Structure 1
Amino acid sequence: MPPSPDGSVPPHAQSYDEFERRLVLMLGATVGGESLTRALGYPSQDAFRKAHQRGRLPINTFELEGRRGRFALAVDIAGWLWCQRGSALTRTKAQGGAH
């Protein structure tokens, strides 16, 4: 789970709806800049820009009129992160590890 802008991480969410709600509260409805870069797991904004140029961002991003950079909806970030979490849990269980 990505840290909030102040660096804190919310407690473990038990359901997708709870996770999505917490993420939107932490990041706001629209996410851009360093918060978006971190939420998607890129080490730098340059890495994020290169992924965008190559068409490899895992979620839809968009421009906002009068603003610089790319933006995404927090609900899209939440959906992608939840799917990544589910995939990781499935792989861990298949390998006989802890959940």
Structure 2
Amino acid sequence: MTMGGKNDLELEEKLMCQFGPLIGGADLRQALGFRSAVTFRRAVRQGKLPVRVFELEGRKGWFALTTDIVEWLTRVSVASMAVAMPGDL
């Protein structure tokens, strides 16, 4: 985990309990903030996803590591805090 912190560990634990080591399908799309499968597939095709996604042999759809999702969410959260409160960080 790149950012550390208690909240990050809690988020990782929660997502690991809910999804296990991989997130796929509608859960992956939702975690990345895509409203539809069409926009998600377009982003995959264009290589514009914020995390690495991959296919699994014998399974349909795209998957990502849960830890990658947590790290991305942490980076986004920290960056948004820096923009919201530039003088406080």
Higher relative contact order (CA 8 A, sep 6+): 2
User: Which bracket does the TM-score occupy, shorter chain normalised?
Assistant: 0.7 to 0.9
Which residue, 38, 47, 52 being the options, matches 2:39? 47
Deviates most, 23-32 or 39-48: 23-32
The number of aligned residues is 84
Residue matched to 1:31: 23
Letter in 2 for 1:35: D
Letter in 1 for 2:57: E
Question: After the TM superposition, which segments of 4 or more aligned residues of structure 1 sit over 2 Å from their partners?
Answer: none
Structure 1 gap ranges (5+): 1-12
Alignment RMSD: 1.7
Deviation at 1:27, TM superposition (A): 2.3
Q: Name the CA distance, whole Å, in 2 between partners of 1:45 and 1:26.
A: 21
Deviation at 1:24, TM superposition (A): 1.4
Please report the TM-score for the alignment, with normalisation by the length of structure 1: 0.77
Q: Name the CA distance, whole Å, in 2 between partners of 1:55 and 1:31.
A: 18
**What are the superposed Cα offsets for residues 29-50 of structure 1, whole Å, 9 maximum, x if unpaired?**
1111000000000111111100
Which residue, 10, 15, 27 being the options, matches 1:18? 10
Which residue, 41, 45, 60 being the options, matches 2:52? 60
Structure 2 gap ranges (5+): none
Letter in 1 for 2:51: I
